[in-house]
Structures are given as C-alpha cells and as structure tokens.
Structure 1
Amino acid sequence: MENLWTLKAILRGFEMASGLKVNFSKSSFIGVNVPNAFMDMACDFLNCSRGNIPFMYLGLPVGANHGRAITWDHLVGHLNKRLNSWGNRYISLGGRIVLLNSVLNAIPIYYLSFMKMSVKVWRKIVRIQRDFLWGGVEGGRKIAWVKWSKVCLPKARGGLGVRDVRKVNLSLLAKWRWRLIHGENLLWKEWKDLMGLDRSGNSNWFTSEVVRTVGNGNKTSFWNHVWVGEETFRSKYPRLFDISNQKEVTIGDMWVQQGVWEWSWRRIFFVWEENLFANLLRDVEGCRLSDEEDRWVWKLEEKGVFSVKSMFKKLENVLGVEDEPRGWERGVFKDIWESPAPSKVVAFSWKLLYDWIPCRRNLAVRIQCPPSGRSFDVCSL
C-alpha cells in the first residue's frame, strides 16, 4: 500500500510541476506477476481500470509477440480499410503506382520501425499491394504481368520503384542496431545486453558497412572489435586470444607508443605460435592514437552516420537483384520515367517495352484468351 501512495504522490508532483493532470478514470493499471487481490486493491485506490498485456500504446501493440500474425492484424486491416475508402473509382495503372508508393507503402512504416515482420505477414501485405496494382479496387484479382521482385526494382533498372516492405523493415530495424553500438548510456541498451546480444556490431548484413575508427583507443576492444581489416583479432587469431591475459582490455590499455605494445600471455609461445604473433604485429604496426574519441563509422555515408536510406540501397543491391536491364535499356527506362507524359501513358509505355500488353498472344500463354481465327492480335488495351 505504501508503494501506491508513493506512486500517487509522484503523479501529483508531476501535475503540480507541469500543469498536466492525470485522468485516472481513463488510465489503466497493469501488473506483471502480481496477485489479483493486490491488483483489485490498487485499481480501487487509484480509481483506474485494470489493463492487460499486450495493450495498444501510440498505435503499437506493447508486449505482443511480433512473430505471430495476429499481432499484425490491425495493420493489415488498416491497409484494407484504406483500399475500401477509395470506393469504386477507376484508377489507371499509373495512378495505382503513385498510390501504392505514396500511400500503401507509407502506412506500415510505423510498425516496421519497431517490429520485425514475419514471412507470413510479408506475403500477406505483398498480396494486398499486388492485387491493388494489377486489379484496382473493384475488379477483383487480375493477371499479374510481372513477378513482384521485378516490380520492386528501381525505375532506372526496369522496375516500378515500389519499395519491398521486407527490405524497408530490415533497414528501419538497422537503425536500432546502429544505436545499440553507438549509444553510451541508454537504458534499453542495457536490457539488450542482458539478452545476450554482442556489443561489437556484428551482423551478416550490417557489419560489412560498419568500421571502428580508433582515436585514443579507450573505448575500442583490442580483441573483440573490428578496427583493422574485416574481422576481429579474436576470430583471426583464436589461438593467441586463448592464451592472452588481456581478453577484455582496450587498445589504449595495451598501446605504449607507435610500434610498442604491452603484452601479457599465460605461457610462452610454441614455435608455430610465434609466426601468428609476428603476423599480428604486422597488422597493428601502423596504429597511431590521438586525443579524439573512438567512434563507429557508417561507410555508406560521407559523414559516417547511419541512414535508413543508405541501408535500403545496400539491401536493394544485395537481396533479390535479378533480371538487370542491359545498358541501352537503362537509358530507355530513364527516358520513360522522366517523360512529361501523363502517368498512365508512362506506365503503358513501361508495359509495352517489356511486351506485357494483354494481347491475344500473351493471353494465350496464360490460357486466358479463347482461340479465334480473326487476324488481329490485340484483345484489349
């Protein structure tokens, strides 16, 4: 009971200091591993309702398992609701491309910034986007003339510039990865450390673009950070790491002056270990310390600071890049999308260049057009 009085005093102090009064009747009290009797007493004392986990806060389900599809039902329902709001209007392909890029792709951003999307949810969202792109809002499912990976290519490379939500999700989550290795005194970072995540920034799709710039060496681990080459000395020289007495020390602790280091080993080297040590000395012989602080550098940005945009471009080049257009085709695609023509004309030209027009020959391939002895080839435009 004393804790409840303290809690209410804190909220009262907040009200007096800020002028913002807490409306207890609209508030919820949530307990974790707390007896029901105490929860009932606390809710009566604070005059608030009893809440449960998960709960919605600022549009996000807090405490929910983001790996379950049901967690994403709110987002999927929002996408379908937006499609229904467009009613039975006729929208050309060019218009649908604009709506897809500016509206349907923008709605999931908030969710994707905090939670990793499962493959099942990704396919569900892509299905909504694909059906809208090729079928509009009232015609039901229609023929998808090109695979989705092609649609998601940049316009200059023959696609429609539609952002793949899976790559967007990874790019947005990489921002937290950057903050994890870059921040110093962050409360949530301490929680992630307890979860056993490493603090070296290693990740198959992330670490290749992150490098440690050494200043005074006081915040860079000699063995556990990548600061020379493409891997840590711990992984490059595991034998030397095993016999070292300095497994957790920083570069600044070991560095005496250029070319001189303070070493401490559990035993003397075997003959073959001396060669490893000689290689290690060659790796660090160019090390020079300064008065500046050590810092992480994002290689894809000139200023060395992480950006979601640069991460997304990297993933575009790494994941699912196929069917690249030839050199002359790139020039044609650029001219098409930079044309001042209406969007529906530009989109039709894009389909025409790939021979994706619904003519009799193309429809026959999909068994959609009945055989006919008529001489013309075009079924519909």
Structure 2
Amino acid sequence: MAFYQANWDTVKTDVQAVFDDWDFLGFVLDKKGFGAVWRKWMLGCWSSTSFSVFLNGRPRGKFKVSRGLLQGDSLSPFLFILRVDVLGRMVDKAKSVSALRGFKVGKDFVEKCQLLGINLEEDIVELRAKEIGCEVGQWPMKYLGLPLGASPHNKGFWEPVISSCAKCLDGWKCVFLSRGGRLTLIQSILSSIPVYYMSFFCIPKGVVEVLEKLIRDFLWEGADHSQSDNLVSWKEVCKSRDHGGFGIGNLDSRNNAFLMKWPWRFSLEKSSLWHRVVMSRFKVGKGDRIRFWEDIWINDAPLKLQFPDLFFISLSGNCLIKDMVVSGGKASLEILGWDLRFRRNLFKMEVTSLTQLLQSLVKFLNDFIS
C-alpha cells in the first residue's frame, strides 16, 4: 500500500484502467479458484449497482452508477487486493528477470527519511544516520499506518481506532438517522475502521468495552439526543439476524477470526522470511522450553523420530536445547557446538546419522542468522 501511495502519480492511469476492466477481475477470480456461481454473484454486484432515495421512509425510484462498486462498499477493499496482487506479481517477475532497474535516490528524498535502530547503541545509529544523511527516528513509530515499538496491550495504542469510531458515531447524527440507519452505519464502521488493527493485534478487553459502549449508546440514543433505555441485551444484539439479533457481531470473535489467518499462512509460507524468524527466534527462544529430542523445532518432526538410532543411545533424551549447547547454555547466535553425549561408541551407520543431524543443526543456525 505504501508503494502505491508514494508512486500514485506514476501508476494512477494503469491502475484505474485495470479497475474499469471488469472482465479482467472475472479472469482473476477464475484463476484464483472461485467458482462460476460466485463469479456470477460478483458480476451482478459490480455491473448492476443502483441506488434509491428514501422519501418519507420509502425508496423512490432507482438510478444506476457507471463505475460499479463505490469506495465505501465492503467488497471494494477485497476486490482491490485481488487486482493489485496481479500487479505485484508482475513487478516481482520483472524484477526476477532484471527487467526493472533501480534509480539513484535524490538528496531531498533521503533528508525526509529516518533511521531507527533495533538493539543497537544510540551512537552507532547516529553514526550511520550521519553517513546516509538522514535523521535519527524515535520509537515508537508508525509504519503503513500501524504503530511499531508500542505495546498493543495498552489502551493508548488503540486510541486512533477509538477516536475514529467516536468521530463517526457522533451523537448529533442520531437526530437525522432512524434506528435502522444507525444500525447500517455501525455495521459499516465495524467493517472498515478497526479491521486493520484487529488483523494484526489482539484487542484488549478494555478497548472492546469502550468500543461497545460507543456503539451501544449510538444505537439506543433517542431522537431528542438523550440516553434511552437499552431495549434488548447487548448479547442478543450481537447475534446474527438468523438467530434473532441485529448482526453487529462480537468484537472479540471478529478479532480472533482475523488473527486466525496467521497460523494458516504460517503453515503455507514455510520458505518466507517471517516464517523462518518465528521458527528460529520465537519458537526456540533461549532453548529453556524446547526439548532437544522430543519437541518439533527442526523440520516437521521431533529429532527422535528423524534420528531414532541416535536417540536410542543418547544420554540426554529429555534435555532442553539450552542443556545441549556448548556456549554457556544459551541457544542463540553464540552457539559454538552441541553436547551430544552417547552411552557407547557409534557404529558406522550411526556416524552417518550423526553427520546428517549436525548438518540439520548447521542449516538451522544459518537460516536463523540469515
């Protein structure tokens, strides 16, 4: 997204041409594996969009739009991702065959940048920033609209989401909206404003309570701008319409659904950088919780199943990784060797297995470092 924001003047014409080509979107949906019925539904949404004006509580007349779905429609961001994904893949392919070349960054651009260090001394960061010609940034910072370096467990972390929702659910709007109109506005806000944050972070209970209070007060507030009684329990309101609710949904459940994409992607993107970082740093950590032979930390099976002959004669069958490390008991980049003790000398076939085990350990460290 940052790429398109920074280079919009360059790619604007091409992107708009793609967005106006609905046949292209149908082609993309087909290649992505969407069924014919689904593609037909989507075609109906973007080719037969029409609007009506409410007069005295009833829709009067219809008029069509020429550009299909509008920006506020909940389908728009998903269709945008499908289209832009094709452009991203084209750029990656062009890069792989050296069809794209870099350009020299101007001094004015560098002066607008900031350099931040992670686990580095301030003197080193300042020296590198001086060499590049940019400023030294401070944590926490914002990147692609998300705060980095701050704790998502604090309420202040979610203040932008709370402020945006409070602004959209301002009480004066109740005077001009029926209860059905308020419900529609609430559902539109919940499907847009907090989604980005909730897709990456676990929302605290205190923030959920604040957002639910905003929504609850806006929904039940009377036309005279005074607080009225809640006509239905909030638990019933959050239920789906098929179960007698208003279809608002539970924020905790919605947050969990968004976060479930990461375990799904983790199992599929095993060659990606973020997968290797999680496997090496966050799963193994200091090695004080993972058992060397019996837990899964290298490849997709415990080492005792990958090398059963070595495990059978090992003297450290239930030891942790930190107990197997030679370099002071720390499973980190300081590892100098492994303390693999056996109760007898190895046979020829077992020496071959030991060689394969050491190669797996070296490969694990190399992936961790890179």
TM range (shorter): 0.3 to 0.5
Looking at secondary structure, tell me which structure has more helix per residue.
2
Q: Taking CA–CA contacts closer than 8 Å with sequence separation of 6 or more, which of the two structures ends up with the larger relative contact order?
A: 1
Greater C-alpha Rg: 1
- TM-score (structure 1 length as normaliser): 0.46
